[in-house]
Amino acid sequence: MSTVTTPVPAFDQQGTQSDEACVDAAISSFVREFGVTTALHLESCVHCGLCADACHFYLATGDAKYTPIHKLEPLRRAYQREAGSFAPLVRTLGLVKKPSITDLQHWQELLYDSCNMCGALHPGLSNGH
Protein backbone atom coordinates (compact mmCIF):
# COMPACT_ATOMS: atom_id res chain seq x y z
CA MET A 1 0.00 0.00 0.00
CA SER A 2 1.25 3.43 -0.85
CA THR A 3 2.10 5.63 2.12
CA VAL A 4 2.51 8.73 0.01
CA THR A 5 -0.36 11.10 -0.62
CA THR A 6 -0.29 13.41 -3.57
CA PRO A 7 -1.33 16.95 -2.71
CA VAL A 8 -3.74 18.74 -5.01
CA PRO A 9 -1.53 20.85 -7.26
CA ALA A 10 -1.90 24.56 -6.62
CA PHE A 11 -0.59 26.13 -9.78
CA ASP A 12 1.14 29.41 -9.47
CA GLN A 13 -0.57 31.61 -12.03
CA GLN A 14 0.02 35.16 -11.03
CA GLY A 15 -0.09 38.20 -13.24
CA THR A 16 -1.83 38.72 -16.52
CA GLN A 17 0.69 37.20 -18.94
CA SER A 18 -0.57 34.73 -21.51
CA ASP A 19 0.35 31.05 -21.16
CA GLU A 20 2.65 31.42 -24.14
CA ALA A 21 4.48 34.33 -22.50
CA CYS A 22 4.79 32.36 -19.23
CA VAL A 23 6.32 29.39 -21.07
CA ASP A 24 8.75 31.65 -22.92
CA ALA A 25 9.74 33.32 -19.66
CA ALA A 26 10.32 29.91 -18.05
CA ILE A 27 12.42 28.74 -20.98
CA SER A 28 14.54 31.88 -21.01
CA SER A 29 15.12 31.46 -17.29
CA PHE A 30 16.24 27.85 -17.96
CA VAL A 31 18.55 29.13 -20.68
CA ARG A 32 20.17 31.62 -18.29
CA GLU A 33 21.12 28.66 -16.08
CA PHE A 34 22.85 26.76 -18.87
CA GLY A 35 26.60 26.61 -18.70
CA VAL A 36 29.36 24.10 -19.29
CA THR A 37 28.33 21.99 -16.29
CA THR A 38 24.68 21.81 -17.27
CA ALA A 39 25.61 20.94 -20.84
CA LEU A 40 28.02 18.22 -19.73
CA HIS A 41 25.50 16.63 -17.40
CA LEU A 42 22.59 16.75 -19.81
CA GLU A 43 24.72 15.44 -22.67
CA SER A 44 26.28 12.62 -20.67
CA CYS A 45 23.07 11.10 -19.28
CA VAL A 46 22.66 7.74 -21.03
CA HIS A 47 19.10 7.21 -19.76
CA CYS A 48 19.97 4.05 -17.84
CA GLY A 49 17.23 4.81 -15.30
CA LEU A 50 19.37 3.75 -12.31
CA CYS A 51 18.72 7.07 -10.56
CA ALA A 52 15.13 5.89 -9.96
CA ASP A 53 16.49 3.22 -7.61
CA ALA A 54 18.06 5.96 -5.48
CA CYS A 55 14.77 7.87 -5.12
CA HIS A 56 12.79 6.97 -2.00
CA PHE A 57 9.59 8.35 -3.53
CA TYR A 58 10.00 6.00 -6.47
CA LEU A 59 10.86 3.05 -4.21
CA ALA A 60 7.83 3.75 -2.00
CA THR A 61 5.30 4.33 -4.77
CA GLY A 62 6.73 2.50 -7.78
CA ASP A 63 5.62 5.47 -9.83
CA ALA A 64 8.10 6.14 -12.65
CA LYS A 65 7.32 9.87 -12.65
CA TYR A 66 9.58 10.32 -9.59
CA THR A 67 12.66 9.22 -11.58
CA PRO A 68 15.17 12.00 -10.82
CA ILE A 69 16.24 12.57 -14.42
CA HIS A 70 12.59 12.79 -15.48
CA LYS A 71 12.24 15.87 -13.29
CA LEU A 72 14.63 17.63 -15.64
CA GLU A 73 12.66 16.80 -18.78
CA PRO A 74 11.38 20.37 -19.45
CA LEU A 75 14.92 21.63 -18.84
CA ARG A 76 16.38 18.99 -21.15
CA ARG A 77 13.96 19.97 -23.89
CA ALA A 78 14.76 23.66 -23.43
CA TYR A 79 18.48 22.82 -23.55
CA GLN A 80 18.15 20.76 -26.75
CA ARG A 81 16.10 23.47 -28.44
CA GLU A 82 17.95 26.57 -27.27
CA ALA A 83 21.52 25.74 -26.28
CA GLY A 84 22.55 22.24 -27.43
CA SER A 85 25.14 21.68 -30.17
CA PHE A 86 22.40 21.15 -32.77
CA ALA A 87 19.86 23.62 -31.33
CA PRO A 88 19.01 25.40 -34.63
CA LEU A 89 18.52 22.05 -36.37
CA VAL A 90 16.46 20.68 -33.47
CA ARG A 91 14.23 23.77 -33.48
CA THR A 92 13.83 23.90 -37.26
CA LEU A 93 12.95 20.25 -37.63
CA GLY A 94 10.95 20.15 -34.40
CA LEU A 95 12.97 17.13 -33.19
CA VAL A 96 12.35 18.05 -29.55
CA LYS A 97 8.97 19.32 -28.41
CA LYS A 98 8.81 22.73 -26.75
CA PRO A 99 7.55 22.40 -23.15
CA SER A 100 3.90 23.52 -22.90
CA ILE A 101 2.10 25.21 -20.01
CA THR A 102 0.48 21.83 -19.19
CA ASP A 103 3.95 20.24 -19.07
CA LEU A 104 5.20 22.94 -16.71
CA GLN A 105 2.14 22.52 -14.48
CA HIS A 106 2.69 18.75 -14.42
CA TRP A 107 6.35 19.25 -13.45
CA GLN A 108 5.46 21.84 -10.83
CA GLU A 109 4.08 19.03 -8.68
CA LEU A 110 7.21 16.93 -9.19
CA LEU A 111 9.58 19.79 -8.44
CA TYR A 112 7.84 21.68 -5.66
CA ASP A 113 5.12 19.49 -4.17
CA SER A 114 7.13 16.32 -3.73
CA CYS A 115 10.66 15.50 -2.66
CA ASN A 116 13.59 17.24 -4.29
CA MET A 117 16.49 15.67 -2.42
CA CYS A 118 18.01 14.37 -5.65
CA GLY A 119 18.49 18.00 -6.65
CA ALA A 120 20.39 18.68 -3.43
CA LEU A 121 22.53 15.55 -3.59
CA HIS A 122 23.16 14.79 -7.24
CA PRO A 123 25.47 17.26 -8.93
CA GLY A 124 23.75 16.58 -12.23
CA LEU A 125 20.26 17.30 -11.01
CA SER A 126 20.49 20.27 -8.67
CA ASN A 127 18.56 23.20 -10.02
CA GLY A 128 19.00 22.03 -13.52
CA HIS A 129 22.72 21.61 -13.20
Partner 1 sequence: VTRHCFGYAPHIAFIHRLTGLTWPALPDMVMYLAAGATIVSLLFALLLRLTDPVRKMVSSADDFITWIVIFLPVATGMAVLAEPSAAILVRDHVVYPGPLAVHLLALELMLMLMWLPFGKLMHAFLFPFSRGATGIRLSHRGVKI
Sorted by sequence, the CB contacts under 8 Å of residue 117 that are 6+ apart come out as 56
Q: Where are the strands (E) in 90-129, listed by range?
A: none
User: Which residues bind to partner 1, rule: CB under 8 A?
Assistant: 40, 43-49, 52, 58, 64-65, 67, 69-70, 85, 95, 123-124
State the Cα–Cα distance between residues 2 and 114, nearest whole angstrom: 14
Q: C-beta of 15: minimal distance to partner 1 in Å?
A: 32
Nearest to 78, CA basis, from 111, 51, 38, 49: 38
**By C-beta, is 14 or 92 nearer to partner 1?**
92
Measured from the CB of residue 13, what is the shortest distance to partner 1 in angstroms?
27
Smallest gap from Cβ 56 to partner 1, in A, equals 15
How far the first Cα of the chain sits from its last, in Å, is 34
Q: Measured from the CB atom, is 23 or 69 closer to partner 1? A: 69
- 31 or 54: CB nearest partner 1: 54
Pick 26 or 52: Cβ nearer partner 1:
52
Q: CA dihedral in degrees (119, 120, 121, 126; nearest 10)?
A: 40
Q: How far is the CB of 59 from partner 1 (least distance, A)?
A: 11
